[in-house]
Structure formats: structure tokens, C-alpha cells
Amino acid sequence: MKFSSQWNFGKKIARKPRLHSKMQSFYANQSPMTVLMKTMKGERPQKADYPNPILDGEMWSLLESCWELDPAGRPNIDEVVQTVKAIHAARNSR
């Protein structure tokens, strides 16, 4: 099982410019080493920097679980896919 897939899913979503505010995203204008050091210290993107309703509570919770420092604590990629599908289905039924 490749645990980096879940981390990268969370990272790619957080890097989408249309999903964060005019504030700097967690990854903006930072070297990969700086992001790595922040991550190793336990820093993560903050919800306040991503006010887009697409990243509501359920989706943000999923992203946070993907950023769990211990890879064993992250959902597997099948769980990520199922959760995203469930969130999408719930949004379409509103």
C-alpha cells in the first residue's frame, strides 16, 4: 500500500488556486524543503485559508485525515474515493 497517495491527494486539493482565498495557500511561494520542515513540525493547511464551500466540513475532514503524519492513520485510497463519492452524492441530492 502506498501511503503517499493519500497525502498527495490532500496536497493537490489544497494547492488548487480557486479553492483558497486571496491569502497565501500553505504551499504558495515555499520551497519543497520549507513545506517538508513545516509538515514534520506538525503544521498543516488551515481551513480559514480555504473558505470555498467545496471544502466544507466533510471534505476538509477528509483532507485532514489524508495529512495524518503517521501513514497508518491515513485512509487508504479506496476509502478516499468512497468518501469523495459519498460527499458528491450528498451534495447532488440537496
Predicted local confidence at residue 29, as pLDDT: 75
Question: Mean pLDDT throughout 61-77?
Answer: 88
Our count of domains for the chain comes to 1
Q: CA 44 to CA 25: how far, in whole Å?
A: 11
Q: What is the mean pLDDT of residues 17-28?
A: 58
Name the band, by pLDDT with cuts 50, 70 and 90, for residue 53: confident
For residue 5, what pLDDT is reported? 66
pLDDT greater at residue 27 or residue 59: 59
Range(s) of the domain holding residue 63? 4-92
Query: Do 49 and 76 form a contact (C-beta atoms < 8 A)?
Result: no
23, pLDDT greater than 60: no
